[in-house]
Amino acid sequence: MISRKEKVFIDTSAIYALLNLKDENHKKAVNYFENLKKKNAVIITTNYIINETYTLLMIRKGQEFAVNFIDKLRITFNVLYIEKTDDDQAIEILKKYIDKNFSFTDAVSFHIMKSNKIKTAFAFDKHFIQAGFKTLP
């Protein structure tokens, strides 16, 4: 279970599941998110995830839908802003896992999780497991 001080990284896959009533993981995502809020977990993401989520929402749900959620995404989660050194570390992760098809945003997320000692990702993306993280729900 999540303790009061535990940090959880939220990925685009979970954010999209939360927002899309038709997503196969919507109910699981909503229940888990409510559980995190009740336990006062610190939910962390990055500006890259916000960017990726916005783009996904725009493509799948339309420009107006995406625009209506962009500010809500930025205030709902603790957003860490990526710097050049984070990008450099992500490139090293991509080189290390050349046999995986991690996106650049995935690699940045893994670096941020490692550097902030975050062991759990709120995600429906198998890449987090492949990189050695626990995913929930």
CA distance 21 to 101: 28
Token code pair at residue 44: 């962390």
Q: What percent of the chain has pLDDT over 70?
A: 97
Q: What is the pLDDT of residue 2?
A: 47
What is the average pLDDT score of the chain?
94
pLDDT tens-digit readout, 42-101? 999 999 999 999 999 999 999 999 999 988 988 999 999 999 999 999 999 999 999 999
Q: What is the pLDDT of residue 71?
A: 87
Question: Tokens 């729900």 — which residue?
Answer: 137
pLDDT greater than 50 at residue 21: yes
Domain parsing of the chain, residue ranges: 7-136
pLDDT tens-digit readout, 78-92? 999 999 999 999 999
E strand or H helix at 67, and its extent? helix 63-76
Contact 49, 15 (CB under 8 A): yes
Q: State mean pLDDT over 97-116.
A: 97
Classify domain 7-136 at the CATH class level: alpha beta
CA distance 89 to 71: 28
CA distance 18 to 103: 22
